[in-house]
Chains A and B, each alone.
Chain A
Amino acid sequence: MINLAGLGVSGAFILLITVYTRHALIMDKFSAKAESAYRIEYANLWRKPDTTKKKGFFDWLAKDAGEQYTLVTPWIMAEDLRRTFPDIKEACRLVTTSPVIMIGNQRFKENKKNVVYVDKNFFSFFDLPVLNGTKENAFQDNNSVVISEQAAKKYFGNNDVVGKIVKLGEDEGKLFTVSAVAKNFPLNSSMQFDVLFPIESRDDYQEKIDQGLNHASALTLLQFQPGADIALFRKKLASFGEQYFKSSIDRSKKFNPDARELKIDLAIRSFPEGHLNASSPWFYFTNLKSLYQLILLALIALGIACLNYILLSLSRVASRSQETGIRKTIGANYKHILKMLLTETWVLIMLSMTVSFVLAFIVLPYFNKLAEVNISVVELLNWKFILIAAGLALLLTVISGIYPAIKMTHIRPLNVLGKFSTYKLNPFLSRIFITFQYTACTVLIAFSIVMAQQIKFVNNKELGFDKEQALIIDNPYRFNKEKTMMMGEQLRQYASTQPAIAGFTGTDFRYAKISNTNTHNINGNKEPINSLIVDYDYFEFNKIPVIQGRSFSRQFITDTSRLDIPKEQLDTLGGRTMASLIVNETLYNMLGKPALNGVNKPLGGIIIGVCKDYFTKTLEQKIEPAYHRCRPNLVGYFWFRIGSNENIASVINNVKQKFSDITNGAEFEYSFMDDDIKVLYESHQRWFKVISIASFMAIFIACLGLFGLSAVVAVNRTKEIGIRKVLGAEILQLFYMLNRQNLIIVLLSFIIAIPIAIYVSKNWLQNFAYRISLQWSFFAIAAIIGFVCALIAVSYHTLKAANSNPVKSLRTE
């Protein structure tokens, strides 16, 4: 029963991770053509390579999986490549979009995952099936649209939709005719499109083509001629890239003259491997690093479970040695007994496999959520998979069953039948088992304690601004200065009349989503500085103290206008802001604390104030230098502060109503600052959950092992216990005597575990620029938990043995 539970639980764990791994491996291998496709990617010109983060073992395993390359390419590139390289058979461009789709009067807001502009060869390029018509002719002309089965059902209620009209966009939307229905995309496809428009249908198509290398937003995918030399192509492509992007490189060199590594590194990556790399925008991302970590966890779990099985079987050997002795005296030979024992092991392992499958089946939905994947039950019940599992079970039987079986067959019947002494477990072996198990447990427990502390720390860390009750809504008129200005004014007016709203401002960024970075020459270095655009009242709204100078004010017209700064006062090589700036302390210190209200050469603007440092990104990064400009007509988000004790739902409703009135019914999208912040740490939170579940399981299994071992000890020493009792030993003394060795080993394993735990924890904490310092108490608590569990595990059998009546164990007749 114990065996069954231990093997079943760890089996389920392994099963899930295997399915997960398989899921990652077969992703995007839905057709031969998908497997032979490649995507274009290149190193980003403007990005400063991030060398500050320490790379661990798993980073090394995952190779460049964490590297972010640029995937968006100029729209003309596909055609240029095809002209240059005869090896390329065909190319396909993809541009995702998130439009509103109108079917009659029905309005559907779609997202980027489902809607895409593609070249017309899309379906033949990937060999994806189309229900009506052929893959080659899925799109008839530039007014055709292909929708998936599920979209057809969603929009029209049935599959018979060829010829129906789909409107892209609201009011002045463009009309398309459904030319074909695509079969739903395979489950192992990273692309899950529902609506596909021809790329040429875009009104701005020619404009984008004309822009040439100055605009990049399409993913470019390639298919090669059969027999093409891919390695050679890679080389040729790299040198092609140098030439092709020469103008861009030159331009950036002018801007950034001493930059050393301005290389474009144009490259291709196999399409099915695309999801293993963190570059965006891609359709799906498998985090290889955490996959490897999970596999390691699974292997540890398997190791613990196997060792455990051996340990527990040996304890059975001890209690069944009498039976074996009798079997031998009535003529069973070596083979009989081996066969009998292996069969028993086999049956048990098969049973626990079944338990594993059932457990995995039950846990799958939670696992999907935890690992952020979508694995269907079908994948779990794949016959190949079950076959592999059965094979694995056989292997497991041999590995974990053969040792106890051989030990048992070596029992000499006379020894067992005549005397008290039964089978004796090799103490060295059992010590290694316990050491291994408890080391693993302690590391896991300590690691999860550290993670819990760090997550608590990042969630409670003072961010330097007020994150509570801040409602943030999207500005639908972003990049339209007049409308934005008008909208901001109206909302500000509205906010001031509402008693439930305590403040109003706007920004062009959201927490942790700052993309606007300008490079300035400071102290002879190129420094990337965050450029933040804010509305009036930003600092007051967020309770960010301005410690020198003043905040932005309507009394100074220069706060919002472009400044006229004489050329002689500007840095000819670096960035220039031409604006009134409020800088944060980090930047102010970096600049060497210049006097306020004069032209600052490195920034090319006038510093009017210094604000206290506050976080604009996650705690994974150090606070970066930043300056704020006040540009109410450039904001992308409007911020409302809801008064405490107000009914949040009704405030949202009122704001939404007002928003709708102003914009004539545009999409109202909102979020709360504190939620946005929480989301940032979700991946850590998930990983924490995985580790804590794993550590719980590990300690459970390890305790089962110790439980079994204590049973062996109790059986083996029954006689001794009896004698000692007769000699006056008390139960506590016996308990101590029986468990002393095992408990000492458990303590020893803590000593091994703690350096490992420290290493692992430190490694993980490297993810954060702001982190807790490791404290002895974390490891002490882990050790205490492990020790108490071990104590409980050994208690049952040994206390039972210590309590037994010595008369029974000493009876000789």
Chain B
Amino acid sequence: MNTGNNRTFLLRDVNLHVKEGEFISIMGPSGSGKSTLLNVIGMLDEFNEGEYNFLHESVHKLKEKQRTGLYKQYIGFVFQAYHLIDELTVYENIETPLIYQNIKTSERKAMVADILDRFNIVGKKDLFPTQLSGGQQQLVGIARALIAKPKLLLADEPTGNLNSKQGEEIMNLFKELNNEGVAIIQVTHSEKNASYGSRIINLLDGMVVK
């Protein structure tokens, strides 16, 4: 990535192979490039050099539209600040990704009902995000990330804004999801949370530390 005249590498020589169904934790101090790596994997950020193969596609060769199509279908995001849309209810928040995948209303209804049921938040479906606790909001965030049945879940410090009890619940949920076959890559500061994963990658100044 270029800034001004100096060429600064936000990420450098990162060589990572993620298998289907894997659970990876990325660790490292602030500014080490964890989030950038996650964004690149999530196809939100572009990169200047190198290759990125996702399933059978070469992401670096794809056009924007195809890329959007790809991550829409296969990738779900969970954020530290939840990033729910304040103006929409829980139900609508969860439904949104399906709208963008042009899924029919009746089908959407069934899918959202399923996931509400599964996360035990049926009673909260008509509330707005601000009426929920942090843990509940994050639950909705995860539900929204999973609604389109992605193969890969990207989580940027999903428990960063939660207390330890809520955090633990979320991590257990992740574990459960992973067991069902969803690959997860999470960025975390906590050793404890990292230990939920099957592999830990340490980053320092944009490079992978062994």
Binding site for B on A (CB under 8 A): 421, 719-720, 722-724, 726-730, 733, 805-807, 810, 812-813
Contacts and interface: CB of A to CB of B under 8 A. Distances in A.
B85 interface: yes
Contact of A728 (B30, B72, B81, B83): B72
B91 interface: no
Contacts of A806: 44
B87 interface: yes
B100 A733 contact: yes
B97 interface: yes
B81 A727 contact: no
B96 A812 contact: no
B32 interface: no
Contacts, number: 47
A730 B68 contact: yes
A812 B39 contact: no
B30 A810 contact: no
Contacts of A810: 79, 81, 83
A723 B30 CA distance: 23
Contact of A720 (B35, B77, B87): B87
B85 A720 contact: yes
B101 A728 contact: yes
Contacts of A724: 85, 96, 100
A728 B71 contact: yes
A713 to B, nearest CB: 13
Given A724-B96, A810-B81, 11 more contacts: A720-B86, A726-B42, A726-B77, A727-B77, A727-B96, A728-B101, A733-B100, A805-B44, A810-B83, A812-B79, A813-B35
Contacts of A728: 68, 71-72, 97, 100-101
Contact of B83 (A719, A729, A730): A719
Nearest to B36: A807
16 contacts: A719-B83, A720-B87, A723-B84, A723-B85, A726-B83, A727-B96, A727-B100, A730-B100, A733-B100, A805-B45, A807-B39, A807-B44, A807-B45, A810-B81, A812-B79, A812-B81
B108 interface: no
Q: Contact size class for B? A: 20 to 34
B41 to A, nearest CB: 12
A76 B84 CA distance: 94
Contacts of A730: 65, 68, 100
B167 to A, nearest CB: 17
A709 B146 CA distance: 36
Nearest to A726: B77
Interface string B88-103: 0000000011001100
A751 B192 CA distance: 63
Nearest to A809: B83
B80 interface: yes
A634 B39 CA distance: 97
Nearest to B100: A728
Q: What are the 9 closest A-B residue pairs judged by CB atoms, nearest first?
A: A728-B72, A728-B100, A727-B97, A812-B81, A723-B83, A807-B44, A729-B100, A807-B39, A720-B85
A726 B44 contact: yes
Nearest to A719: B83
A421 B87 CA distance: 12
A418 to B, nearest CB: 11
A810 B78 CA distance: 12
